Structure 1
Amino acid sequence: MRLLSFLLALLPLPAWAEDILLSGPPIWESAPLIALAETQPVEGVTFIFRPWASPEELRKMLMAKVPLIAVAPSPTAAVFDAGRIGAGRIGADGIGAGRIGADGIGADGIGLRVVSATVTEGSLSIVGRGGPVADLAELRGASLALPFKGHLPDLMMRRIAPPGAESWQPYYTGSLNAGVQLLLAGQVDNALLTEPLATLALAQDPGLSRRAGLCGLWREATALASCPPAGVVLVNPAFGNRREVLSAYRAAFATLAADPGAAAPLLARHFPEMERAREGFARINALDLAMPENAALLADFYAAIMEVEPDAIGGRLPGPDFYGP
């Protein structure tokens, strides 16, 4: 027995893989993280993808001792950095920005870093009846359905042009899918739709058209060269400085950016409703803006949103430590 124990002690110890948690909502930007969990490309690391459904759930993940990489709306990251979470809801599109007020939940000490910002040009369009528009004034006060007041699509639209009888009239639906239904029923003139909802709506009614992409309108109104970097990739303090993991993420992003429609089956593994998203995602031009090299682009976006609603980014611009790597 002693000899057996001695021999066992001489055997090499098994290599234990470290778990790294990956998290995101049902949007294109989460697909590279899911790809990491499917392919497990880094030796000694086990990637586990788990969706988040609320800012509070994401905050708890960030504060845990498990290394985390997460996709989040850009304003949400800024709010966390400012130490406050709004009680407002972030919808299933993952690009909401709840209002921040006295009900904010403290998030001091998270110490998160943004390692990338993401641009998904072509993912947000004004769909309606009529020809293309180059300026929101061309809508001439027509109704425009949006999911939620104060969420990021609404904030970006308000930065492009204030609503009113001479431009556009917001119609808040309270859900992501309602805009499509109201548009098809003729109850609103236009709708601001994310992919794949925009492509699905166009397929159901040939009388509809893609009247404008939000990216073009944003560039014209803000004079910023970049499309809105509406999403960011965050890491928590437990993640540390794992360059091999970030390299694997960037490789996964590049692969999907070359074939954006391939994100649909990956997302469908966790979000079944994304099964039909391939055609809509295929038109996306996705860019990975690594930090801190592209910090100025993200900072310019925050400054533009702050002009409309300072509370949406926590009432202040993030400091230099916010921009990774």
Structure 2
Amino acid sequence: MNGLLNRRTLLSALAGSAGALALPHLPALAAPAQGLEILGAPNGSTIVLLRLLQSGALDQVAPGASFRLWRDTDELRAAIVSGRTSLFTTPTHVPANLANRGLPLKLFAILSMGHLFVVSGDEGIKSFKDLAGKELVGFFKNDMPDLVFRSIAKGYGMDPDKDMSITYVRTPMEAAQMLAAGRATTAILSEPPATAAILMAKKEGRILNRAISLQDDWKVQHKGLGLPMAGIAVHERLIEHSPELIAALGAGLPGARDWVMANKSEAGQLAEQKMDVKAHMFANALDHFNVVAEPAAKQKAGLIAFYETLLAFEPDALAGKLPPDSFYMNF
């Protein structure tokens, strides 16, 4: 097999502990995934998969693989259904939603344990409860970032519709620009927009701070479980027909993550080339992405807590139910 893993090794690598994916029957000799189009969500943790691709670690198992960003779930769904893509980075609720609606998807890896912050120029805001009576800018109303914020507010006995005033805009970058321009004092932001707001404001002589880490408050309220926000999902056809690629992903992701964190400037340059983001801003944001490279099955308890929260606030976010146990893969 030209140095690639044999079938028995692949089965050992891919078969997991309880809750991991049970593999379908594999052909005696699997073909490389020729011309694979990898889709990336426009969030910071995508850089880990980009680095793995750039490093050449997938050249043998996915010759001619390409990368592009996806912008909305309609675009992603079309690419999956058409067969153009079988591998993509994503907020972790998206493949759960699509799997519950009938698409044969699995969550392979977790790449980010949360990158949501309250950024403010108000020095009096030190903790979540300090938001009482404040005006905030939010984004993606009733979508995942907003639901995380609302869940945390509820956990502290607060009603975000009564105890504070939230004005919603369309995107996190729009909120970041309002904050940087002084048209808002406090905003709920993801990364890298949070870093962008801080750097843009600094150029104008204004000081903004990450006043609250929503992932830290989440852990406090969920008995130490983290917030597994972003990861890698795969289509079952890729698992069945290209097991060498699945094995190469599992073997290579931890090293790609370590390279990214040890080479922030180079990672920023790669992000600028492929992800339409400024290199220096991305490099400055990297420490706040909470980047990991772990099997989805390892974070199953945290994922279930996350999914249960989304279901409690907005059932349609997951098509009304938890994904099955086979959804969470191991490597």
* Band the TM-score falls in, shorter-chain normalisation: 0.7 to 0.9
- Counterpart in the other structure of 1:96: none
- The alignment-based identity, stated in percent, is 23
Distance in 1 (CA, whole Å) between partners of 2:174 and 2:249 is 39
- Counterpart in the other structure of 1:245: 249
Report Cα offsets for 1:119-166 as digits up to 9, x if no partner.
245x32211122364543311221111122112111100101130343
**Residues 139 and 65 from structure 1, CA distance in 2 versus in 1: closer, same or farther, beyond 3 angstroms?**
closer
Distance in 2 (CA, whole Å) between partners of 1:55 and 1:67 is 13
- Counterpart in the other structure of 1:50: 68
The structure carrying a bigger helix percent of its residues is 2
- What is the RMSD computed on CA atoms of the aligned residues? 2.5
Deviation, structure 1 residue 260: 5.1
**Residues 224 and 22 from structure 1, CA distance in 2 versus in 1: closer, same or farther, beyond 3 angstroms?**
farther
Gaps of 5+ in 1: 1-14, 84-107
2:152 equivalent to 1:160:
yes
Deviation, structure 1 residue 234: 0.4
Distance in 1 (CA, whole Å) between partners of 2:34 and 2:165 is 51
2:78 equivalent to 1:29:
no
Distance in 2 (CA, whole Å) between partners of 1:293 and 1:262 is 29
**Residues 82 and 34 from structure 1, CA distance in 2 versus in 1: closer, same or farther, beyond 3 angstroms?**
same
2:205 equivalent to 1:201:
no
- Counterpart in the other structure of 2:167: 171
2:75 equivalent to 1:62:
no
Moved more, 157-166 or 42-51: 42-51
- Counterpart in the other structure of 1:309: 314
Report Cα offsets for 1:82-128 as digits up to 9, x if no partner.
10xxxxxxxxxxxxxxxxxxxxxxxx2x211111123245x322111
Deviation, structure 1 residue 67: 6.2
2:139 equivalent to 1:147:
yes
Deviation, structure 1 residue 233: 0.8
Q: How does 1:1-325 map to 2 (within 5 A)?
A: 18-42=34-58, 43-46=60-63, 47-65=65-83, 68-83=86-101, 108=102, 110-121=103-114, 123-131=115-123, 133=125, 135-161=127-153, 162-166=159-163, 168-203=164-199, 204-205=201-202, 206-220=206-220, 222-240=221-239, 241=243, 242-259=246-263, 262-275=266-279, 276-325=281-330
Distance in 2 (CA, whole Å) between partners of 1:159 and 1:282 is 25
Deviation, structure 1 residue 34: 1.6
User: Contact conserved, 1:145 with 1:188, CA < 8 A, in 2?
Assistant: yes
**Residues 224 and 231 from structure 1, CA distance in 2 versus in 1: closer, same or farther, beyond 3 angstroms?**
farther
Distance in 1 (CA, whole Å) between partners of 2:258 and 2:124 is 31
Amino acid at match of 2:277: E
TM-score (norm 1): 0.78
**Residues 76 and 285 from structure 1, CA distance in 2 versus in 1: closer, same or farther, beyond 3 angstroms?**
closer
**Residues 300 and 169 from structure 1, CA distance in 2 versus in 1: closer, same or farther, beyond 3 angstroms?**
same
User: Contact conserved, 1:145 with 1:179, CA < 8 A, in 2?
Assistant: yes
Moved more, 187-196 or 150-159: 187-196
Deviation, structure 1 residue 261: 5.5
Amino acid at match of 2:140: F
Aligned length: 283
Amino acid at match of 1:243: A
Distance in 2 (CA, whole Å) between partners of 1:292 and 1:69 is 17
Amino acid at match of 1:202: I
Gaps of 5+ in 2: 1-30, 154-158
**Residues 245 and 67 from structure 1, CA distance in 2 versus in 1: closer, same or farther, beyond 3 angstroms?**
farther
SS of the residue aligned with 2:268? helix
TM-score (norm 2): 0.77
User: Contact conserved, 2:43 with 2:192, CA < 8 A, in 1?
Assistant: no
Distance in 1 (CA, whole Å) between partners of 2:318 and 2:32 is 40
Amino acid at match of 2:189: L
Report Cα offsets for 1:238-266 as digits up to 9, x if no partner.
21133123322343233224445643222
User: Contact conserved, 1:260 with 1:285, CA < 8 A, in 2?
Assistant: no
Report Cα offsets for 1:161-201 as digits up to 9, x if no partner.
130343x3211012332212322344333111222322232
Higher Rg of the two aligned structures: 1
Amino acid at match of 1:223: H
